[in-house]
Structure 1
Amino acid sequence: MIHCEGLVKIYKAADLEVFALQGLDLHVEDGELMAIIGNSGSGKSTLLNMLGGLDRPTAGTLTVDGRNMLKMSEKDLVRYKRESVGFVWQNNARNLIPYLTAMQNVELPILLKGRRRRERAIQLLEAVGLKERMHNRLHQLSGGEQQRVAIAIALANHPKLLLADEPTGSLDSRMSDQILDLFRELNRNMGITVVIVTHDPLLAKKVDRVVAIRDGKISSEMLRKRSYSEELAELEQGGVTGDGADEETHVEYAILDKAGRLQVPADYLKAIGIKNTNKVKVELVEGTIVLTPPEEAS
């Protein structure tokens, strides 16, 4: 579904150039449910905007569902944003029109396509659990219910890719959990590819793959040891005690680029005494690569 190679994005302001992405490589399979995490300024939202056609890369390769995002015309880009990709934002003001009902909000993008909007809108609101609330106006809905309406809108025109930018950022933990469960259900039932940018640690328990971005590159990936459905089944059968909060559910891997470079987590470097230097001693000891601080001058 998504193929990024050597992706670069440079923003220019006056005489200043800011590298938001610095040669990022990423591959996402069709039908995958994954999360992208990273600190503010790491480049994760920039990547999401380019996947959605809201921004263009400066250099590199970016294809989404077979489309070359660097060479698409403005007309094709508009069609792509309208038909192939759905967006869910943290700020409901970007998703919803406040004076319309839930039903009318979902009908609007379908109307732009000239399709039978009422039947599709009802189907989507049922899918996100709002069958009994479809005629309510937004001020009559909770924050979580409004976000469910936003997800229904994003799915209105049968997109193949759903992009969510901090979709649980303004919700409490209980409602965040429900929204993440909904993403899993939609991914499983509809086969839609879902990419979520988030700071929410709950995602690590619900998503099979988590990609971390640091300084405009993929620094690591966390892969689930067992499928989430298997863990739920074991929990329901009483095979797991408690909520499993302390259990390690994922294995983390550092990512090597084509030149063999990797980003070592800052906490690891600090733990072995690497500070105030950009040098590290690398040795091969009995088949294991060992990093140590540079030797002090005698």
Structure 2
Amino acid sequence: MIVCENLVKIYKTNDIEVVALQGLDLTVTRGELMAIIGNSGSGKSTLLNMLGGLDRPSAGRLFVDDKDLLKMGDKALIRYKRETVGFVWQNNARNLIPYLTALENIELPMVLTGKVKRDRALELLDMVGLSHKKNSRLGELSGGEQQRIAIAIALSNSPKLLLADEPTGAVDTKTASQILDVFRKLNRELGITIVIVTHDRQLSKKVDRVVAIRDGRTSSEFIRKRTYAQELADMSQGIQDQEEETHEELAVVDKAGRVQIPREYLDILGLKGQNKIKIEMEGDKIVLVAPQAEGKIKVNA
């Protein structure tokens, strides 16, 4: 569904250049529910904006649903944003019109395309569990309810890709869990590809793959050892997994053989302020050694 190759984004303002993405590579399969995590300034929101057609890359390759977003003209880009992608923002003021009811908000994107379907809007309300709130306006909905309405709005034109930018950032932990359950339900029932950008690492408990971005590149992936569905099935049978770590972290190696070493590992080696490191082979291991130091990090080859 998504293919990013050596993606670069540079912002220029008043003779100042800011590199937001520095050769990012990413592949997302159709029907996948995955998350992208990273600290503020890592480039995750920049990536999401480009996937949504809201910004264009400076260099590299970007394909979504077999469409080349770098070569897409303005008219094609408008059609892409209307038909291929749905967007859920963290700020509900960007998601909902306050003087419209929940049902009218969901119908609004349909109005803009000339295809209003009341039954479809009611169906989406039911899918996010808010049929009883169809006549409520923004001020009559809780933060979690507003976000679930926002998800329904993003689905109103049946997009193939749903993008969510910090969808749980403004709600408490319990409400965040409920919102993520809605994403899982939609992914399972509709088969829609969902990409969620967040800074919350706890999100990984409910998705099977989490990609970490650091300094504008994909640095590692957290792969679930057992699928979330398998864990739920075991819980329903009364089987409790005592293992605390549900995911395994794997470093990402780019096409040039480069890998980002976690900053905490570099701190352990005492490499702060240095840019050189010894690389050795020990059997089936790649070993990183600090120059003139005894500390070593072993990495599986």
TM-score band (shorter)?
A: over 0.9
Paired with 1:137 and 1:41, the residues of 2 have a C-alpha distance of: 34
Please state if 1:275 is matched with 2:263.
no
Mean Cα deviation higher: 133-142 or 173-182: 133-142
1:153-232 paired onto structure 2 within 5 Å: 153-232=153-232
1:232 Cα deviation from its structure 2 partner: 0.8
1:236 corresponds to which residue?
236
1:58 corresponds to which residue?
58
Task: Please list every run of 5 or more consecutive structure 1 residues that lacks an aligned counterpart in the other structure.
Answer: none
1:65 Cα deviation from its structure 2 partner: 0.2
1:291 corresponds to which residue?
288
Compute the RMSD of aligned alpha carbons.
1.1
Deviations 1:59-93 (A, max 9, x none): 11001001100111101111111111000000000
Q: TM-score w.r.t. structure 1 length? A: 0.96
Task: Please list every run of 5 or more consecutive structure 2 residues that lacks an aligned counterpart in the other structure.
Answer: 294-301
- The AA in structure 1 aligned to 2:83 is E
SS at match of 2:6: strand
Q: Is the 8 A contact 1:177 1:202 kept in 2?
A: no
Please state if 1:27 is matched with 2:24.
no
Paired with 2:103 and 2:218, the residues of 1 have a C-alpha distance of: 39
SS at match of 1:278: coil
1:275 Cα deviation from its structure 2 partner: 2.3
1:238 Cα deviation from its structure 2 partner: 1.3
Q: Which runs of 4+ in 1 moved over 3 A?
A: none
Percent sequence identity is 66
Please state if 1:138 is matched with 2:138.
yes
Paired with 2:264 and 2:195, the residues of 1 have a C-alpha distance of: 27
Q: TM-score w.r.t. structure 2 length? A: 0.95
1:116 Cα deviation from its structure 2 partner: 3.6
1:101-120 paired onto structure 2 within 5 Å: 101-120=101-120
Q: 1:252 aligns with which of 228, 234, 249?
A: 249
Paired with 1:94 and 1:119, the residues of 2 have a C-alpha distance of: 25
Paired with 2:271 and 2:286, the residues of 1 have a C-alpha distance of: 16
Q: Is the 8 A contact 2:37 2:201 kept in 1?
A: no
SS at match of 2:258: coil
Paired with 1:109 and 1:146, the residues of 2 have a C-alpha distance of: 17
Paired with 2:277 and 2:238, the residues of 1 have a C-alpha distance of: 48
Q: Is the 8 A contact 1:20 1:43 kept in 2?
A: yes
1:217 Cα deviation from its structure 2 partner: 0.6
Q: Is the 8 A contact 2:34 2:196 kept in 1?
A: yes
2:299 corresponds to which residue?
none
Paired with 1:215 and 1:199, the residues of 2 have a C-alpha distance of: 14
